[in-house]
Amino acid sequence: MQNTQAIETIFSQSKPGNRAVVFPRCDVPERPLAELIPAGQLAGNPPPLPESAEIDIVRHFSNLALRNMSVDTHFYPLGSCTMKYNPKRNERFASSPKLLALHPGQPAKTMQGQLRILHELQEMIAEISGLPGVSLQPAAGAHGELTALLVAEKYLTRKYGPKKKTTVLIPDGAHGTNPASAAFAGFKTVEIKSTPEGLVDLDDLRARLGDDTAVFMITNPNTLGLFEPNIKAICDAVHAVGGLVYNDGANMNAICGIVRPGDFGADMMHYNVHKTFSTPHGAGGPGAGPIAVTEALAPFLPGPIVVKTVVSESDATENDATENGVDKNESNENGGMRTVYRLDGDRPESIGRVRSFFGSVAMLNRTYFYLRTLGGDGLRRMTEHAVLNANYLLSSVRDFLDVPMGGGRCMHEFVASAAALKTAKGITAMDVAKRLLDYGFHAPTVYFPLIVKEALMIEPTETENRATLDRFAEVLRSIVAEEPAFLHDAPHSTPVSRPDEVAAAQKPRLVEP
Ligand SMILES: *Cc1c(COP(=O)(O)O)cnc(C)c1O
């Protein structure tokens, strides 16, 4: 069981003279810091660091970690976030010393293998999305949204002139990052209503489309876990006024390998590789949010983009010859020709850089390995199992928990509502979510999307087995039958029960007072 005693901060455990590492006695003359560090860069005294033995540091952080929930320790049905299990083989691959020892500043000819990985990943992302222009640069989904909107802004300005296309339309069920990214990119945002069925209200959309429409941002399947059946008509209507369609790709776990956003009319999209492609998720990153766009938008993408060229052996030896043998076979077959991967530096239309070096390469390597191990068929099976698991769970909870939209069907997630429970017994979505922690389940996403009252957004993902889903459904069934007063105080078994969530976010206390 969890240890519920308070853990002191590492600073308050500090004792002067405690050491994790003892260095050997210095056998060269010591020089004062001021001689080694340029004037002006040495400000004041060094920051106070905790002084601890290694064993105390390890225990401190291990005990803190034990108080948390993670995909490795608990079922984590956090809707929209796709908290799937990350296979350990991805970690082993990404930890290969050959990849870890690379430095982004070293010459391209000495990292042909890494560049080949990035190039092949660009091609896979293009293939899965049906959109040929790819930038691996953005550091997360939200950063991908912003980057793609800046690309759109530049393209639309070239095409229609400055300040003509000023408005981004966003459905009311959208993730908060969509309006935030649009505002950040300098656009005006307008909200589009949903129908009572939770889909885009086509009449409202048509009424708001106009000459000023720059982009319609849609999440498909949407945050209710519903595929938009009018997607083609929506894209056509947006294109008819010269606008572009942005597909928020956070829910790609529901359609990968089955339908491609580029085929249903999207002009650009992002991926959350930490959701769809199983890379570590949360805890402040690093993440990656590659974007894919149409051919017309591709010249505006940020670089660097890895390009593959085939050169003759003699040119290759002079220029960026690969020394590591990766392409030897190919070169032999091609009769004196050799494949060389280069960074595309000549991008005069590009919006410029959005991230240092090549982006979050360690995450992109995990993504690559995940996709290579699954292959096209495996990717389709991933999606099919994600949708099957969500529908199985939906049908297991429907007799005691309302699922107002979707008519008993969903894609990879569904949104239940505790509104009726609240009216009847005073049990809120928050009460249910908090009580789940007592049973060793991470809570679902709550109070999102805003268009469902007392929302509990549940996404099991494809990596869970049937026994886990059955246990989760049984626990939910027992929770909604519990005493409301007991639920209001839940969780009862965790080190912290109900923190003041707003204060914890806005005024975090990270050290002892
Ligand atoms: C997670 C998510 C985002 C933002 O992605 P980050 O990688 O967290 O920046 C955007 N839209 C939707 C629908 C999401 O679920």
Average pLDDT, the chain: 92
Identify which of 83, 175, 224, 278 to mutate to test ligand 1's pocket (most ligand atoms within 8 A of the CB): 175
Q: In sequence order, what are the residues at sequence separation of 6 or more whose Cβ sits closer than 8 angstroms to the Cβ of residue 340? A: 109, 112, 308, 309, 310, 311, 316, 319, 320, 321, 322, 327
Going by CA atoms, what residue is nearest to atom 14 of ligand 1? 250
The 3-state DSSP class for residue 392 equals helix
Report d(CA 340, CA 294) in Å as an integer. Answer: 25
Report d(CA 259, CA 293) in Å as an integer. Answer: 16
Identify which of 247, 269, 272, 458 to mutate to test ligand 1's pocket (most ligand atoms within 8 A of the CB): 272
Q: Return the closest-CA partner of residue 124 out of 280, 235, 266, 273.
A: 273
Instruction: Output the pLDDT for position 363.
Output: 95
83 CB less than 6 Å from ligand 1? no
Give 79 Cα–ligand 1 centroid separation in angstroms: 11
Report d(CA 10, CA 290) in Å as an integer. Answer: 37
Report d(CA 9, CA 28) in Å as an integer. Answer: 37
Q: Quick one: pLDDT band at residue 328, thresholds 50, 70, 90?
A: very low
Q: In sequence order, what are the residues at sequence separation of 6 or more whose Cβ sits closer than 8 angstroms to the Cβ of residue 88? A: none
Report d(CA 392, CA 352) in Å as an integer. Answer: 46
Q: Quick one: pLDDT band at residue 335, thresholds 50, 70, 90?
A: confident
142 CB less than 6 Å from ligand 1? yes
327 CB less than 6 Å from ligand 1? no
Contact between 154 and 349 (Cβ < 8 Å)? yes
Identify which of 177, 223, 269, 445 to mutate to test ligand 1's pocket (most ligand atoms within 8 A of the CB): 177
The radius of gyration computed from the CA coordinates of the chain, to the nearest angstrom, equals 26
Give 144 Cα–ligand 1 centroid separation in angstroms: 10
Q: What percent of the chain has pLDDT over 70?
A: 94
| pLDDT of residue 491 exceeding 50 | yes
Q: What is the pLDDT of residues 82-121, one digit of tens each?
A: 999 999 999 999 999 999 999 999 999 999 999 999 999 9
| Of 247-251, 319-323, 471-475, the least confident | 319-323
What mean pLDDT is predicted for residues 475-492? 97
- Tokens 């099976």 appear where? 381
Report d(CA 409, CA 411) in Å as an integer. Answer: 7
Give 44 Cα–ligand 1 centroid separation in angstroms: 41
Contact between 168 and 189 (Cβ < 8 Å)? yes
Closest-lying ligand 1 atom to the alpha carbon of residue 174: 13
| pLDDT of residue 332 exceeding 70 | no
248 CB less than 6 Å from ligand 1? yes
141 CB less than 6 Å from ligand 1? yes
243 CB less than 6 Å from ligand 1? no
Report d(CA 306, CA 137) in Å as an integer. Answer: 11
Instruction: Output the pLDDT for position 242.
Output: 98
Closest-lying ligand 1 atom to the alpha carbon of residue 289: 7
Report d(CA 415, CA 242) in Å as an integer. Answer: 34
Q: Which helix (H) or strand (E) covers residue 188, if one does?
A: strand 188-192
250 CB less than 6 Å from ligand 1? yes
Contact between 48 and 16 (Cβ < 8 Å)? no
Length in residues, the chain: 513
Single-letter amino acid code for the residue at 353: R
Instruction: Output the pLDDT for position 131.
Output: 98
CA angle 133, 134, 138 (to 5 degrees): 140
Q: Quick one: pLDDT band at residue 317, thresholds 50, 70, 90?
A: low
289 CB less than 6 Å from ligand 1? yes
169 CB less than 6 Å from ligand 1? no
What mean pLDDT is predicted for residues 213-232? 96
Both structure tokens of 446: 């709550």
Between β-strands 291-293 and 445-446, what pairing exists: parallel, antiparallel or unpaired?
unpaired
Q: How many CB atoms lie within 10 A of CB 153?
A: 22
Q: In sequence order, what are the residues at sequence separation of 6 or more whose Cβ sits closer than 8 angstroms to the Cβ of residue 338? A: 310, 311, 312, 313, 316, 321, 322, 327, 330, 331
Going by CA atoms, what residue is nearest to atom 5 of ligand 1? 141
219 CB less than 6 Å from ligand 1? yes
Within the chain, what is the greatest distance between any pair of CA atoms? 80
Crossing angle, helix 112-129 and helix 361-397, to 10 degrees? 30
Instruction: Output the pLDDT for position 284.
Output: 65
Phi/psi for 207 (5° steps) reads: -65, -25
Q: Quick one: pLDDT band at residue 33, thresholds 50, 70, 90?
A: confident
| pLDDT of residue 324 exceeding 80 | no
The 3-state DSSP class for residue 316 equals helix
| pLDDT of residue 323 exceeding 80 | no
Closest-lying ligand 1 atom to the alpha carbon of residue 82: 15
Report d(CA 50, CA 54) in Å as an integer. Answer: 11
Instruction: Output the pLDDT for position 320.
Output: 46
* Dihedral angle computed from the Cα positions of residues 501, 85, 441 and 387, in that order, rounded to the nearest 10 degrees: 100
Q: What is the pLDDT of residues 259-295, one digit of tens each?
A: 999 999 999 999 999 999 999 887 666 889 999 999 9
What domains does the chain contain, in order, with CATH numbers? 1-67 (no CATH), 124-300+357-364 (3.40.640.10), 381-504 (3.90.1150.10)
| pLDDT of residue 437 exceeding 70 | yes
Give 119 Cα–ligand 1 centroid separation in angstroms: 25
Strands (E), 198-295: 213-219, 244-248, 268-270, 291-293
Q: Return the closest-CA partner of residue 77 out of 410, 496, 498, 450.
A: 410
Q: How many CB atoms lie within 10 A of CB 183?
A: 14
Give 422 Cα–ligand 1 centroid separation in angstroms: 29
Q: What residues pair up with 293 in beta bridges, in sequence order?
A: 133, 268
Q: Return the closest-CA partner of residue 263 out of 241, 235, 240.
A: 235
Q: Quick one: pLDDT band at residue 321, thresholds 50, 70, 90?
A: very low
Contact between 404 and 316 (Cβ < 8 Å)? no
Q: In sequence order, what are the residues at sequence separation of 6 or more whose Cβ sits closer than 8 angstroms to the Cβ of residue 155? A: 244, 296, 297, 300
291 CB less than 6 Å from ligand 1? no
462 CB less than 6 Å from ligand 1? no
Closest-lying ligand 1 atom to the alpha carbon of residue 248: 11
181 CB less than 6 Å from ligand 1? no
Instruction: Output the pLDDT for position 54.
Output: 95
For residue 461, what is the DSSP state?
Answer: -
Q: Which helix (H) or strand (E) covers residue 471, if one does?
A: helix 466-480
Contact between 240 and 211 (Cβ < 8 Å)? no
Q: Quick one: pLDDT band at residue 203, thresholds 50, 70, 90?
A: very high
pTM over 0.85: yes
270 CB less than 6 Å from ligand 1? no
Instruction: Output the pLDDT for position 331.
Output: 47
CA angle 262, 263, 264 (to 5 degrees): 95
Q: In sequence order, what are the residues at sequence separation of 6 or more whose Cβ sits closer than 8 angstroms to the Cβ of residue 497? A: 434, 489, 490, 491
Instruction: Output the pLDDT for position 135.
Output: 98
Closest-lying ligand 1 atom to the alpha carbon of residue 142: 9
